[in-house]
Homo-oligomer: A and B are copies of this chain.
């Protein structure tokens, strides 16, 4: 018989229009992915929570967005900007101002749940073309009007969100087209505001749309794929889930058109050249602080799903798993596309979340693979058929040599099924005062264990806190660590302090400030100690060069020093 009282009262409806929740809810208003009941049981047990704690949702944000901040921008400026983009592409209502001020950091969502808006623009502007962007950038620079850029809205670094006042440019409304596909050059030219699915669909349908002889893929599938923009991928140096094979956004962008107050820069589409330091590189990772990325030429890849091989393994230990991953990464046979190993805690909790047939568990235990020691590895290989097969064969050979047991392609397939859906759980848990948040960093093979140990030690030193981690972007010279923590926590100040402590632990252990989310405003305080004052001065010099009035994405990446 069903025991309905055990099921948490998850929110099941699209947030009503105009509400705070409609601003902060991840992804589609109509989509949900609830934690499994086994997970809820785990959380209850570990955090000392009861069924009752999951009965009434808190700070759901169902009230209507209101804003007690009159538009401070001089109406003259608004008129001028309306004359550039057309009146219908300018908004100054409270809802628009709040919506386009918000990214997806935990901190912001905690604030929005309580109706707190730290800062927002006065004017939301939806440019129709790069010409619009050029005119607005010029105008705002002349009149020293703060100007920030919004693509898909999925930043987790407070990279989005203006400082108070000024204008926010929303690129995803109109500037979201594929401009062309060159089959010869194997490139696509796109507007920066295009989101992942539109790009990928155009590439897969290239024969119909662009008369190519093959289908293509963009190769870039971050967890935010469905809602993030190509421009965002580039300016934050993002990585997709298949980056180990296809490369990071850093590698995928061949050329850019970048509008700055100091003029528009169009870089060439050569895959390599030796004509001085590459301006294309200087703009990568500049997070809108130097200008507005309006177009990019991307490398694209043949879409050949028929060649994909899926595999998964269980390793007896984290050490064995990491050694195998390193040997694979350095094996000179090409890289897996999806390539991911979970640490023991993530493995264990992940199996609870997604379920594992009990006979598999018995089998693994008989092979000496114990919970909280064993590590799950999943992967795919892609590309030309024999290439993909050889990658699979070599991966199997190496994994076996480190004592791993093959779990077939099942776990990889199961993971793919929900690869873009996990962020949906965040709202569910937060409704009941449980916070789930992530941080990520770069590591070398030499320091991965130290970073993993020390960050875990910090996170788990807090009572009622779980810490899971995985590595999922591999290179011969290192990888990343992606930490996920769950905590019963709803005080924003406590959250901020805890978060700062984690970043401190990452940087102290020798990790980077970020592997693939960028710096934004959230991580900027660590740049000085991480990069050193000398490198920050270079950023400032470039900032002053491109943006002398210092109007662009103020507060992101670098301060005035």
* Complex Cα spacing A250 to B276, Å: 11
Binding stretch for chain B, among A196-204, A381-389, A494-502: A381-389
User: Cβ of B285 and Cβ of A282 under 8 Å apart?
Assistant: no
Interface string of A164-197 (1 = CB under 8 A from B): 0000000000000000001011110000000000
State in angstroms the CA–CA spacing of A304 and B185 once bound together: 32
Contact of A276 with B281 in the complex, beta carbons under 8 Å: no
Q: Is A457 an interface residue (CB 8 A)?
A: no
Question: What separation, in Å, do the CA atoms of A263 and B446 have in the docked complex?
Answer: 28
Contact B287 A272 (CB under 8 A): no
The residues in A between 288 and 302 inclusive whose CB is less than 8 angstroms from any CB of B are 299, 301-302
Contacts known (A277-B286, A477-B271); A330 close to B186, Cβ less than 8 A? yes
Whether A512 pairs with B270 at a CB distance below 8 angstroms is yes
Nearest CB of chain B from residue A20's CB, rounded to whole Å: 29
Given contacts A185-B478, A302-B330, contact A262 B534 (CB under 8 A): yes
Instruction: Give the shortest distance, in Å, between A229 (CB) and chain B (any CB).
Output: 16
B333→A476 contact, CB < 8 A: no
A151: min CB distance to chain B, Å: 15
**Closest residue on chain B to residue A280 by CB atoms:** B281
Report whether A512 and B445 are in contact in the complex, using a CB–CB cutoff of 8 Å. no
A444 touches B185 (CB 8 A): yes
Distance A386 CA – B187 CA, assembled complex (angstroms) = 29
The smallest beta-carbon distance between A184 and chain B, in angstroms, is: 4
Q: Is A265 an interface position by the 8 A CB rule?
A: yes
User: Can you name the residue of chain B whose Cβ is closest to the Cβ of A184?
Assistant: B445
Q: Which residues of B contact A517 (CB under 8 A)?
A: 274
Give the docked Cα–Cα distance between A514 and B272 (Å). Answer: 9
B332 touches A302 (CB 8 A): yes
Contact in complex: B265, A535 (CB < 8 Å): yes
**Chain B positions within 8 Å of A476 at CB level:** 186, 271, 299, 301
A539 at the interface (CB under 8 A from B): yes
Please tell me which stretch of A37-45, A100-108, A122-130, A235-243 contacts chain B, meaning at least 4 of its Cβ atoms lie within 8 angstroms of it.
A235-243
Q: Judging by beta carbons under 8 Å apart, are A442 and B184 in contact?
A: no
**Contact residues of A between 518 and 559, Cβ < 8 Å to B:** 518-519, 523, 527, 530-532, 534-535, 537-539, 541-542, 545, 557-558
Of all chain B residues, the one with the shortest Cβ separation from A557 is B276
CB of A470 within 8 A of chain B?
A: no
Identify A274's interface contact among B263, B285, B330, B387, CB under 8 A.
Answer: B285
For residue A427, CB closer than 8 A to chain B, the reply is no
Cβ–Cβ < 8 Å partners of A534 in chain B: 262-265
Tell me if A299 and B477 are in contact (CB < 8 A): yes
CA distance A381 to B152 in the complex (A): 42
Q: What CA separation (Å) do A239 and B271 show in the bound complex? A: 13
Q: Which residue of the partner chain, among B512, B542, B558, contacts A268 with CB atoms under 8 Å?
A: B512
Tell me the minimal C-beta distance from A212 to chain B in angstroms. 12
Measured in the bound complex, the distance between the Cα atoms of B444 and A286 in whole Å is 27
Distance to closest chain B CB from A399 (angstroms) = 15
A534 to B291, CA, bound (A): 14
A516 within 8 A of B: yes
Given A299-B476, A477-B187: A273 in contact with B515 (beta carbons within 8 A): yes
Please tell me which one of the listed residues B287, B386, B523 contacts residue A390 in the complex, with CB atoms under 8 A apart. B386
B239, B333, B383, B514: the one within 8 Å of A383 (CB):
B333
Contacts of A277 on B, CB cut-off 8 Å? 281-286, 539, 542
Q: Is the CB of A276 within 8 A of B282?
A: no
**Residues on the B chain within 8 Å of A443, using CB:** 270
For A473, the closest partner residue in chain B by CB is B272
A394 and B387 alpha carbons, distance in the complex (Å): 10
Which residues from B are CB-within-8-Å of A284?
Answer: 277-278
A346 at interface by CB-CB < 8 Å? no
Q: State whether the Cβ of A513 lies closer than 8 Å to any Cβ in chain B.
A: yes
- Which residues in chain A, 430-475, are within 8 Å of chain B measured between CB atoms? 442-446, 473, 475
| A182 CA / B477 CA spacing, docked (Å) | 10
State whether A275 touches B513 (Cβ < 8 A): yes
Q: How far is the CA of A476 from the CA of B272 in the complex (A)?
A: 11
A248 near B: Cβ within 8 Å?
yes
User: In whole Å, how far is A487's beta carbon from the nearest beta carbon of chain B?
Assistant: 25
Enumerate 23 A-B pairs (CB-CB under 8 Å) in ascending A order: A182-B446, A186-B330, A248-B272, A265-B534, A265-B535, A266-B532, A268-B512, A272-B515, A273-B442, A274-B512, A274-B514, A274-B516, A274-B517, A274-B519, A276-B518, A277-B539, A278-B281, A279-B531, A332-B384, A333-B387, A334-B387, A384-B394, A542-B542
Closest 7 pairs (CB-CB, A-B): A271-B475, A237-B274, A333-B384, A332-B383, A281-B281, A270-B442, A271-B477
Can you add 7 more A-B contacts, CB < 8 Å, to A268-B512, A302-B332, A384-B394? A185-B445, A237-B272, A270-B512, A272-B442, A277-B539, A386-B390, A538-B542
